[in-house]
Amino acid sequence: MIFLQDVSIGYQHVPVLQNIDLQVDKGEFIGIIGLSGAGKSTLLKSMVGKTKILSGEYRVCNLPVHKSSKKGMKELRSRVGFIFQGYNLVNRLNVLHNVMSGMLKDISLMRSVIKFYNAAEFDHAYECMKLVGIEQLALKRSDELSGGERQRTAIARALVQNPELILADEPVAALDPKSAVTVMDILQNINRSFGVTVIANLHHLDLARRYCSRILGISEGGIIFDGSPAELCSQHVELVYRRRMLAA
């Protein structure tokens, strides 16, 4: 699903992460942990070409991110669902039309603007909303939703793409504990039931241990831990978060 060999990524010509080697297989649920500013979001965004690849070989869904054309990047992004901490919903639209906006790879922009969808498209959107438990909110404006409901709407929007890969950038950081567990349960269900690969940046170490099959720890410009939750011991945690501990 994802292959990085000796990859450096960053902004302009300044690397944030260097000499990264990583392989992700289909169906994995990976949690990325690390301090704020360590490069977690940079790594996630690089998987859809939103961060500059400075060197190395980088493939996602067997497409070369390091030398991809605009057409190639468009194809890649159509196969990847991205979930944001800030939800990225259109507040004036209801839940249904926010979810339907995830179909832009399959329908024309004009059809989306005038909200012209066929029965099969409506059915697909409804099934995605039902999967995350928001079908009863279909006609409610998104700015009237709770944080948890907004994030579930964002997940449903990603699902209508029929993605092979879901990238979630701090999907529960702004949520209360109950809503955070609900969202993580949904992502785990998607991963297990449909075989969709999920990669999530997580501030909550307990959630990473509970839900992820594999954890990556990022610190000082690189991946310093790569293993199962059972292999993540206190020494590894100290290495990942040592800057904060040293400051304290």
Is residue 135 one of the residues assigned to a domain? yes
Is residue 228 one of the residues assigned to a domain? no
Task: Report the distance separating Cα 2 and Cα 207, nearest Å.
Answer: 23
Is residue 146 one of the residues assigned to a domain? yes
Domain count, the chain: 1
Q: Are 59 and 122 in contact (CB under 8 A)?
A: no
Average pLDDT, the chain: 90
Tell me which of 113 and 40 has the higher pLDDT.
Answer: 40
Helix, coil or strand: residue 179: helix
pTM for this one?
0.91
What is the share, in percent, of the chain residues with pLDDT greater than 90?
67
Is residue 140 one of the residues assigned to a domain? yes
Q: Which domain holds residue 125?
A: 89-162
Angle, CA of 71, 75 and 79, to the nearest 5°: 165
Please provide residue 171's backbone torsions phi and psi, each rounded to the nearest 5 degrees.
-70, -15
- Among 163, 129, 147, smallest CA distance to 86 is for 147
pLDDT value of position 180: 95
pLDDT value of position 58: 94
* Model pLDDT for residues 119-166, shown as the tens digit of each residue: 898 999 999 999 999 999 999 999 999 999 999 999 999 999 999 999
Angle, CA of 182, 186 and 85, to the nearest 5°: 75
* Model pLDDT for residues 65-119, shown as the tens digit of each residue: 988 788 888 888 889 999 988 888 999 999 999 999 888 777 766 776 677 778 8
Q: To the nearest 10°, the Cα dihedral for 214, 74, 43, 10?
A: 160
| pLDDT grade for 243, boundaries at 50, 70 and 90 | low
Is residue 96 one of the residues assigned to a domain? yes
Please list, in sequence order, all residues whose beta carbon lies within 8 angstroms of the beta carbon of residue 4, skipping any fewer than 6 positions away.
20, 21, 22, 23, 56, 57, 58, 59
Ranges of H-type helices in the chain: 40-46, 70-78, 95-100, 109-113, 119-132, 147-159, 177-194, 205-211, 234-240, 242-247
Q: Tell me the CA distances in angstroms from 101 to 3, 70, 161, one per residue in order.
A: 29, 21, 9
Please provide residue 146's backbone torsions phi and psi, each rounded to the nearest 5 degrees.
-75, 170
pLDDT value of position 213: 96
Is residue 141 one of the residues assigned to a domain? yes
Task: Assess whether pLDDT exceeds 60 at residue 244.
Answer: no
Is residue 25 one of the residues assigned to a domain? no
Is residue 220 one of the residues assigned to a domain? no
Q: List beta partners, residue 11.
A: 14
Task: Report the distance separating Cα 118 and Cα 110, nearest Å.
Answer: 14
Task: Report the distance separating Cα 216 and Cα 199, nearest Å.
Answer: 10
Tell me which of 117 and 35 has the higher pLDDT.
Answer: 35
Q: List beta partners, residue 5.
A: 57
